[in-house]
Every structure is written in C-alpha cells, then in structure tokens.
C-alpha cells in the first residue's frame, strides 16, 4: 500500500501528515479509471504523471547510473483549501478498492487548517463528542411481568401518538365548549418529528424526498409524521398544496421566506401543522442562522427575497423583542391571529439554564401551544465550531427540570414540551426518543438521524465530511448545485423515510409493551427509567441501577 503525497514540498509547506485525512492509494490495483477524482467534492485528489529517477549502481563494473520509472496514479493535494474531508466517496466509486481515506491521529497538526486568514473555523454537522450520551445509557427497567399485564407488541393495538398544542384542563374545556368560546388548536401527531432543516440548507431533491415520505406515512400507513421547515420558508407549490398540513412552518429572526408565506395564505387549501418561532437552536445558542453564499442559488434567492450569491446571516435575536413576555404578546399572538387562531404556535429555544423562565411565561399564556428545547448536541447546516462544541446545555437535564417544574405546578398535561439535540446521535433513535418522552417530553425532533437514515449522510462526530455549509455535499443532501443534488433520488429518500418511521413505530411498541402501556404514550413515566450513573440518576430523578 502506497501513501501518496506531493513531491513539491519545501521545509515550510504542508504534507499529508498535517491534514485531518490521509488518502491511501494502491498503485497495484488502480486501473486509472478516474472515477475517484471525478467524484471528489473538494478536488482533494488528482491524476498525475511523474517520471522518477531510480539511482543504480553496478558494483561489478564499478559504474554509477540511473534508471527511470513512470508513475501514473493518484496523489493527494496538500493545499489546505483542497484538503480531504474523509467523505469516502472515492472509495465508494472505485471499482478496484484501490483508494480510501484514513483519519489522521496527529490531531495537533490540524491547527494548521483551522484559522486561515484569521477566520474562525465554521462547519456543518454535529458536535464532535463521540461516545455514549446520557440518553444512550438510560434503560427501561420497570417491566410488567407478574405484577400487571405486559402486552404483545405484535398483536395489541397501541396509541403512540402525541398532542401538539395547548391542552385545556377537562373542566375548562367543557366550559368553553358549552359557551362556544375559543379552544386552543391541537394536532395529533407522531412523537418523532422531522426537525427544522431549511429549504436552502437542504437540496430540492432532499426536501422533495422528505415530503414524499412524510405524505406516504400519513396517507398510506396512518403514521401522522410532521416535518418542520427551518428558516427560509418552503417551495411556493407546497404552500398551496394539501401537503401543507404535514408541515410546521418556522419563522426565525431573519424572517426569510415569510413574504411568500403571507402572500400564499389566501390560497392555502389547509392550515399548516403548526408555526414554530425560532429564538435559538442547540448547535449555536445565542447566534442566528447562517446560509453561506455558496448555497444561495437563484431559486433560494427568489424564495427568500434576496440577491443571488450573498451570505444570509439572521440576527441572533428578533430585533424588536427583548423579553419572553414581549415575545408572547407580539409574536405568538400575531402568528396565531395570522392563521385565524386555528394553528398551534410554539417557540423553539436553545437548551439553557434560562429555559425554565421561558416556560413559566408560556404557561401563563393561553396562545402558547408548546415549547421546543434544542440541546447542545443539536446539529446545524453551518455554525462556528466553538459555538457547536462549547455553547449550550444538554437536553436531558434541561427538559427534565422544565417538566418537573410543570409537575410542581400541577400543569404537566397542559403545555407540551418537545426535545431536540442529539436524539439518535449514536443510532439509538427510538431508545433516545422514548427516554426523553419518559423524562417528560411530549415528542422529539430528529434531524441528522433522518439525514443519515434517509439519505446516507456521511458526516460523523469524528470530523468526517461535515461540509454541509459550503454547498459541496457529496451526497447531494445539502447542496444547491444541480450537478451534486441530482445524485440524490427523491424516490429513494422517500422510501427510506418510510422505512425509518416504520422501524421507529415498531421499536416504540417494543418499548411500550413490556411496560404494560398501550393506550397512551408514557410521557413522564420516569419510574420506569434507570441509569448506571448515580449523579445522573440524582439529577434526572430516576432509578440508579448498577
Ligand atoms: S475521501 Fe472524499 S474528499 Fe477525500 S479524496 Fe476521497 S472523495 Fe475526496
Ligand atoms: S454528506 Fe452532506 S449532509 Fe452529510 S455531513 Fe457531508 S455535507 Fe453534510
């Protein structure tokens, strides 16, 4: 096996040892088809020809001489702007298993590539914190056996849906119904929601595939899955289609896409599933959204009402709102009014120690249809590395604290809490989601897991790929470049979305059945949770098991 490298190094130039990923290339296998170089999204490898001198010494004749060999093969760029991102596309397309990336363990050298021109490092993807999360370590340990009946996951009927929107206490509900007063709108939905990924962050084919999959889940399988748009609106045809009822429209501090939405209201055939007002997100708390210019295509520019090819940062806060009270009065009520008080409206905030204060303001306001908290492990299309890695609060304890606060007030069934940020980070999506639900969430939002399970996203927590921000996504998931996004077949994405939700439904039943629970989602059923960490058990108020 031969590691390839540039032959033009000087004492101060970079070598492949300095880069985060090293390409190994087997000269003996390579047939020079060129597929690897054609598919590489960053141009990290190139086909090259070298004439190499091989010194030769003829001892018997006491003569020195030279032989020449010709190298034709693949080499790795050592230019930082073309560094390998470890996506592995080259190895996927190579017909001869002749090439592939390997992570460089010499981590300190990556300082070379992280602050070019004084700019702090930005990337897409998720927090680089490999290993089990707290949610992965929670187990369901109160199993109905001879004490009360366990159920058969394969044969019993299960009600695993949840409610999005404010739920009035029964006496209040009956009183309002009798007097014809307004009753807050609610939706019965599947508790695993496709989290906010914008049209702009995602490619048109990815968006279409997600929507097709969601529609199939609802209309054919009867799984009421909904998906959130993220900031930036959604394609105008969706706004005027019957599929809008599966969509949670997000409004954020840049208000991108909302001209189109407001203009489309008179022509809407149905109401959206909900309105999400984004005040913060787990991947970059206290920071606004950022769609980098690489991804602002003609279509995206038109939808967002901006010129083509400009960076689109949203402000960190909604400019006219300085407190949660003001936000509830201005934004939540205004958005409710825009849709005739028929659509649940809820805020999305970053995981933070101030989450409880926000919640307590929402509890007092009848227009607030829930609260979504996005924890520190949340992913993003683009963020400063330092925000993604080091800012925010883990979701499990943050949401638990909020839920217990509602319990103390006796109002835990009124305002639904939703959790996001790292659900399914290590692949255990249903286990993580049900753990959050039993800690008090009414449902969970999943983003990156869906990108991986539905479209084969290559990113991971070890710095692989994660170039979602610059529009060169090798799978075509987060690119606006047609050459790249046509690699992704929307029908395949839809098929995988459906497979994913069917799998989650089966696993949900497999968790609910042994608990003896079939008629409602076990929201807040924390007596059935255990963890092998005494401090975490104490903090989350669940069983310590060892
Ligand atoms: S792993 Fe990806 S970025 Fe690296 S050389 Fe192969 S295709 Fe290019
Ligand atoms: S495959 Fe695309 S979406 Fe996944 S990490 Fe890479 S750039 Fe991002």
Instruction: Give yes or no: residues 171 and 29 share one domain.
Output: no
Expressed in angstroms and rounded, the spacing between residue 298 Cα and the centre of ligand 1 is 28
**C-alpha separations of 163 from 136, 228, 377, 505 in Å:** 25, 16, 25, 16
Expressed in angstroms and rounded, the spacing between residue 291 Cα and the centre of ligand 2 is 15
Average pLDDT for 30-51: 93
Instruction: Give yes or no: residues 421 and 513 share one domain.
Output: yes
465 CA closest ligand 2 atom index: 6
Side-chain-facing half-sphere of 388: CA atoms under 13 Å: 23
Name which of 212-216, 401-405, 455-459, 514-518 the model is least confident about.
514-518
Domain assignment present for residue 244? The answer is yes
Instruction: Give yes or no: residues 202 and 328 share one domain.
Output: yes
Instruction: Give yes or no: residues 186 and 113 share one domain.
Output: no
Provide the pLDDT for residue 1. 45
Is the Cβ–Cβ distance between 331 and 321 less than 8 Å? yes
pLDDT single digits (tens) 102-161: 998 876 666 777 777 888 888 888 888 888 999 999 999 988 876 666 778 888 888 999
Q: Report phi then psi at 74, rounded to 5.
A: -100, 135
Mean pLDDT, all residues of the chain:
90
85 CA closest ligand 2 atom index: 6
Provide the pLDDT for residue 240. 94
Is the Cβ–Cβ distance between 239 and 268 less than 8 Å? yes
Starting from the CA of residue 462, give the closest ligand.
2
Q: How many C-beta atoms surround the C-beta of residue 325 within 10 A? A: 12
Most confident of 44-53, 216-225, 380-389, 455-464: 216-225
Which residues form the pocket of ligand 2, taking CB atoms under 6 Å from any ligand atom? 124-125, 451, 457-459, 465-468, 473-475, 477-478
Q: Is 530 helix (H, G, I), strand (E, B) or coil?
A: strand
Is the Cβ–Cβ distance between 414 and 402 less than 8 Å? no
Reading the block at residue 206, the tokens are 């990815």
Average pLDDT for 289-310: 85
Provide the pLDDT for residue 3. 45
Expressed in angstroms and rounded, the spacing between residue 230 Cα and the centre of ligand 1 is 29
Domain assignment present for residue 532? The answer is no
User: How many whole angstroms separate alpha carbon 499 and alpha carbon 202?
Assistant: 20
Most confident of 11-20, 31-40, 146-155, 329-338: 31-40
pLDDT at 367 over 70: yes
Instruction: Give yes or no: residues 332 and 256 share one domain.
Output: yes
Starting from the CA of residue 123, give the closest ligand.
2
Q: How many C-beta atoms surround the C-beta of residue 528 within 10 A? A: 21
The position carrying tokens 């289609």 is 241
pLDDT single digits (tens) 405-445: 999 999 998 999 999 999 999 999 999 999 999 999 999 99
Residue 326 — very low, low, confident or very high, per pLDDT cuts 50/70/90? confident
Domain assignment present for residue 531? The answer is no
User: How many whole angstroms separate alpha carbon 357 and alpha carbon 360?
Assistant: 5
Q: Any idea what the Cα angle at residue 399 is, between residues 153 and 279, rounded to 5°?
A: 120
Is the Cβ–Cβ distance between 19 and 51 less than 8 Å? no
pLDDT at 391 over 90: yes
Reading the block at residue 258, the tokens are 């909302």
Residue 233 — very low, low, confident or very high, per pLDDT cuts 50/70/90? confident
Give the CATH number for residue 71: 3.30.70.20
Expressed in angstroms and rounded, the spacing between residue 475 Cα and the centre of ligand 2 is 7
Q: Whose CA is nearest to atom 4 of ligand 1?
A: 84
Q: How many domains does the chain have?
A: 2
Task: Please give the share of the chain, as a percent, with pLDDT higher than 90.
Answer: 63
Starting from the CA of residue 469, give the closest ligand.
2
Query: In sequence order, what DSSP letters do the residues of 328-397 get, joined into one string?
Result: IIIIIHHHHHHTTT-S-EEEEEES-TTHHHHHHHHHT-TTB--EEEE-TT--EEEEEHHHHHHSS--HHH
Average pLDDT for 172-198: 95
42 CA closest ligand 1 atom index: 3
21 CA closest ligand 1 atom index: 4
Report the number of secondary-structure helices (H) and strands (E) in the chain.
19, 22
Expressed in angstroms and rounded, the spacing between residue 4 Cα and the centre of ligand 1 is 13
The residue ranking higher by pLDDT, 108 or 257, is 257
Is the Cβ–Cβ distance between 399 and 349 less than 8 Å? no
Answer with the one of 75, 96, 119 that is the final residue of a domain.
119
CB of 74 sitting under 6 A from ligand 1: no
Rounded to the nearest 10 degrees, the angle between the axes of helix 395-409 and helix 355-363 is 30
The whole domain housing 111 covers: 11-119
pLDDT at 489 over 60: yes
Expressed in angstroms and rounded, the spacing between residue 60 Cα and the centre of ligand 1 is 48
The position carrying tokens 């760029």 is 77
Expressed in angstroms and rounded, the spacing between residue 345 Cα and the centre of ligand 2 is 31
Q: How far apart are the first and last CA of the chain?
A: 46
The residue ranking higher by pLDDT, 412 or 328, is 412
Task: Please give the share of the chain, as a percent, with pLDDT higher than 70.
Answer: 96
CB of 45 sitting under 6 A from ligand 1: yes
Expressed in angstroms and rounded, the spacing between residue 107 Cα and the centre of ligand 1 is 19
Q: Whose CA is nearest to atom 7 of ligand 1?
A: 40
Starting from the CA of residue 88, give the closest ligand.
1
Instruction: Give yes or no: residues 108 and 157 share one domain.
Output: no
Where b means 16+ CB within 10 Å and e means fewer, 105-114 reads eeeeeeeeee
Please name the helix (run of DSSP H) or strand (run of DSSP E) that holds residue 181, with its range, or none.
none
Q: Whose CA is nearest to atom 4 of ligand 2?
A: 457
Instruction: Give yes or no: residues 83 and 196 share one domain.
Output: no
Domain assignment present for residue 126? The answer is no
Instruction: Give yes or no: residues 162 and 249 share one domain.
Output: yes
Q: How many C-beta atoms surround the C-beta of residue 259 within 10 A? A: 13
Residue 67 — very low, low, confident or very high, per pLDDT cuts 50/70/90? confident
Side-chain-facing half-sphere of 13: CA atoms under 13 Å: 11
Q: What sign results for the dihedral spanned by CA atoms 544, 143, 401, 390? A: positive
Instruction: Give yes or no: residues 109 and 167 share one domain.
Output: no
Expressed in angstroms and rounded, the spacing between residue 487 Cα and the centre of ligand 2 is 13
Instruction: Give yes or no: residues 113 and 218 share one domain.
Output: no
**C-alpha separations of 118 from 49, 192, 319, 360 in Å:** 36, 41, 29, 42
The residue ranking higher by pLDDT, 364 or 500, is 500
Instruction: Give yes or no: residues 101 and 165 share one domain.
Output: no
CB of 20 sitting under 6 A from ligand 1: no
Starting from the CA of residue 16, give the closest ligand.
1
Give the CATH number for residue 304: 3.20.20.70
Instruction: Give yes or no: residues 88 and 155 share one domain.
Output: no
Reading the block at residue 161, the tokens are 């849906």
Average pLDDT for 168-189: 94
Residue 2 — very low, low, confident or very high, per pLDDT cuts 50/70/90? very low
């Amino acid at each position: 096996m031969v590691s390839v490298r540039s032959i033009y190094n000087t004492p101060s130039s970079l070598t492949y040892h300095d880069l985060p990923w090293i390409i190994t290339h087997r000269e003996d296998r390579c047939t020079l088809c060129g597929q690897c170089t054609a598919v590489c999204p960053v141009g990290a490898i190139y086909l090259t020809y070298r004439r190499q001198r091989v010194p030769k010494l003829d001892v018997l004749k006491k003569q020195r001489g030279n032989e020449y060999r010709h190298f034709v093969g693949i080499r790795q760029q050592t230019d930082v702007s073309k560094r390998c991102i470890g996506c592995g596309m080259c190895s996927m397309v190579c017909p001869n298993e002749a090439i592939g990336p390997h992570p460089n363990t010499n981590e300190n050298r990556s300082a070379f590539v992280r602050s070019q021109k004084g700019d702090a490092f930005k990337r897409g993807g998720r927090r680089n914190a490999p290993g089990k999360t707290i949610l992965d370590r929670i187990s369901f340990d109160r199993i109905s056996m001879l004490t009360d009946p366990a159920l058969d996951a394969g044969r019993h009927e299960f009600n695993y849906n949840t409610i999005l929107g404010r739920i009035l206490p029964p006496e209040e509900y009956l009183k309002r119904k009798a007097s014809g007063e307004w009753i807050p709108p609610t939706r019965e939905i599947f508790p695993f929601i496709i989290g906010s990924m914008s049209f702009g962050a995602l490619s048109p084919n990815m968006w279409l595939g997600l929507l097709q999959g969601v529609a199939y889940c609802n209309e054919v399988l009867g799984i009421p899955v909904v998906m959130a748009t993220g900031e930036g609106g959604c394609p105008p045809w969706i706004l005027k289609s019957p599929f809008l009822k599966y969509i949670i429209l997000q409004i954020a501090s840049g208000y991108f896409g909302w001209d189109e939405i407001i203009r489309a209201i008179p022509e809407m055939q149905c109401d959206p599933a909900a309105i999400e007002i984004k005040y913060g997100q787990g991947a970059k708390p206290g920071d606004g959204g950022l769609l980098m210019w690489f991804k602002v295509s003609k279509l995206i520019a038109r939808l967002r009402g901006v010129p083509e090819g400009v960076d689109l940062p949203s402000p960190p806060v909604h400019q006219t709102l300085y407190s949660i009270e003001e936000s509830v009065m201005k934004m939540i009520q205004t958005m409710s009014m825009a849709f005739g008080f028929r659509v649940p409206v809820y805020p999305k905030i970053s995981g933070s120690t101030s989450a409880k204060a926000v919640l307590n303001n929402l509890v007092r306001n009848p227009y607030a249809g829930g609260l979504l908290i996005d924890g520190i492990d949340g992913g993003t299309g683009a963020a400063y590395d330092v925000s993604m890695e080091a800012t925010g609060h883990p979701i499990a304890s943050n949401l638990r604290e909020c839920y217990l606060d509602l319990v103390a007030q006796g109002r835990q069934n009124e305002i639904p809490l939703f959790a996001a940020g790292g659900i399914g980070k290590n692949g255990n999506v249903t286990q993580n989601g049900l753990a959050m639900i039993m800690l008090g969430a009414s449902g969970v939002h999943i983003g990156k897991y869906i990108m991986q399970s539905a479209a084969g996203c290559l990113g991971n927590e070890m710095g692989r790929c994660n170039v979602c921000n610059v529009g060169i996504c090798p799978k075509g998931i987060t690119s606006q470049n047609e050459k790249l996004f046509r690699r992704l077949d929307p029908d395949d994405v839809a098929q995988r979305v459906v497979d994913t939700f069917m799998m989650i439904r089966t696993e949900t039943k497999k968790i609910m059945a042994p608990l003896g629970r079939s008629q409602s989602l076990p929201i807040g059923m924390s007596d059935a949770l255990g963890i092998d960490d005494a401090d975490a058990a104490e903090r989350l108020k669940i069983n310590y098991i060892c």
